[in-house]
């Protein structure tokens, strides 16, 4: 059997088995009673329901991941990429446009096939546990908007990468890296100005105690605020969150569901945590790490993009840059999985640092602890995840570890 195919199949099946074992251990780690730290936040029925939500989500993820594995294995083994390539070549476009058709067909086919899973997750599971606020109309509109963005941004980014690897010879990886680095840098402003307003409405936070407290805190820590907005997250879900965006002056966005459940002091603690990421330069560090990763990936890609053995593994009749991108992505998946473990570890470290910053600058450990407890309780989050699941998948530390670290300050 082709060595590249062996590596790819081993990686796909191996990651699936490891994640399955992790999910099994995660379910075994669930407790019948809430941890003592959360005493008073749950009654027996409320905690039972939160555990049921975790079990239901885990079982659903197992079914969907099993389906995804069977789908990709079947597609590879029946030579599905060759059929997609023949379809794309029928239009007799140039190489770049043919590549965009090929990639678009793969994306659209996968998305349409997996829509039932998205619908079940949103309108059955999330509905059952009281989180879903989305209508079918909103779901359809979101899909259409997503397709529009994929066509526009995908054509620019992937079209540019294909063009460079078609025309730039040995330096193609360097040009592609430059393009990727550019989009990594502008991703936040692009999301802020274009993407987020397509999906949600943002209204200025009204005058009052909360706004005054946030602005007072921002002045204290010299955090440059351009705008404080309330996002209508409740039109899709009752889950809550907050974020800020922007390279220089920042836009703070609070989910309306977050404001409903927290006191001004707790909300300032949440914002202080986000400010901590900015002050500790976590955003810049993450951006630089992404740029370095992209450079390494494109450099390695340059050695495999026209590799005849890689194309034989997928029963392809003709070598092409666009198919080479997809095949290298599958071959690269073990490295990507290992890198995700490292970046998750780094992210968990950053979360501890941001928590500490928030507690120290607000001079209120209690405010940060209360905010964390309410967020985890309202989202029915897992309070006792298994260490293997944390190691593989968590980009935030378990809440009990975060609270313990805060209490040691």
How far is CA 408 from each of CA 34, 105, 108, 376, rounded to the nearest angstrom? 22, 53, 50, 20
Q: 256 an active-site residue?
A: no
Phi first, then psi, for residue 226 (nearest 5°) are -95, -35
DSSP class per residue in 92-145: ---HHHHHHHHHHHHHHHHHHHHHHHHHHIIIIIHHHTT-B---HHHHHHHHHH
CB atoms within 10 A of CB 274: 20
Catalytic residue among 85, 266, 274, 351: 274
Q: How far apart are CA 383 and CA 392, in angstroms?
A: 17
User: For residue 235, what is the DSSP state?
Assistant: G
Q: What is the rounded CA–CA span in Å between residue 142 and residue 165?
A: 33
d(CA 9, CA 24): 22
d(C-alpha 242, C-alpha 396), whole Å: 15
* Residues 162, 158: Cα–Cα separation, whole Å: 6
Residue of 23, 126, 351, 355 marked active site: 355
Name 285's Cβ contacts closer than 8 Å, sequence gap at least 6. 350
The answer to whether 266 and 370 are in contact (CB under 8 A) is yes
Q: How many Å from the N-terminal Cα to the C-terminal Cα in the chain?
A: 57
Which residues form the catalytic set? 274, 355
């Amino acid at each position: 059997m082709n060595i590249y195919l062996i590596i790819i199949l081993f990686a796909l099946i191996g990651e699936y088995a490891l994640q399955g074992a992790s999910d099994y251990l995660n379910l075994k780690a669930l407790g019948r009673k809430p941890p003592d730290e959360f005493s008073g936040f749950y009654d027996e029925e409320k905690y039972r329901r939160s555990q049921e939500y975790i079990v239901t989500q885990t079982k659903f993820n197992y079914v969907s991941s099993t389906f995804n594995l069977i789908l990709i294995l079947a597609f590879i083994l029946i030579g599905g990429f060759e059929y997609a390539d023949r379809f794309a070549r029928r239009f007799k476009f140039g190489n770049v446009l043919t590549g965009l058709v090929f990639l678009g067909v793969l994306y659209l086919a996968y998305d349409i096939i997996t829509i039932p899973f998205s619908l079940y997750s949103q309108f059955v599971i999330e509905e059952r546990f009281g989180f879903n606020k989305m209508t079918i109309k909103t779901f359809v509109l979101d899909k259409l908007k997503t397709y529009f963005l994929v066509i526009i941004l995908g054509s620019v980014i992937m079209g540019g990468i294909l063009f460079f690897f078609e025309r730039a010879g040995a330096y193609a990886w360097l040009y592609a890296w430059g393009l990727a680095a550019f989009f990594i840098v502008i991703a936040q402003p692009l999301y802020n100005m274009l993407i987020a307003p397509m999906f949600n409405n943002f209204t200025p936070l009204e005058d009052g105690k909360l706004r005054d407290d946030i602005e007072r805190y921002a002045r204290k820590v010299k955090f440059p605020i351009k705008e404080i907005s309330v996002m209508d997250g409740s039109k899709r879900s009752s889950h809550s969150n907050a974020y800020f965006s922007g390279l220089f002056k920042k836009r703070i966005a609070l989910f309306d569901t977050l404001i409903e459940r927290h006191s001004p002091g707790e909300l300032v603690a949440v914002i202080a945590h986000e400010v901590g990421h900015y002050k500790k330069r976590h955003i810049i560090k993450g951006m630089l790490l992404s740029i370095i990763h992209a450079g390494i990936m494109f450099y390695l890609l340059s050695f495999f993009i026209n590799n005849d053995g890689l194309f034989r593994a997928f029963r392809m009749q003709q070598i092409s840059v666009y198919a080479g991108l997809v095949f290298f992505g599958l071959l690269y998946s073990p490295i990507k999985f290992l890198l995700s473990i490292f970046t998750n570890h780094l992210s968990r470290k950053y979360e501890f640092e941001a928590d500490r910053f928030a507690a120290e600058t607000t001079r209120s450990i209690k405010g940060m602890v209360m905010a964390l407890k309410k967020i985890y309780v309202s989202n029915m989050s897992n309070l006792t995840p298994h260490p293997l699941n944390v190691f593989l998948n968590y980009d935030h530390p378990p809440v009990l570890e975060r609270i313990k670290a805060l209490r040691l300050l």
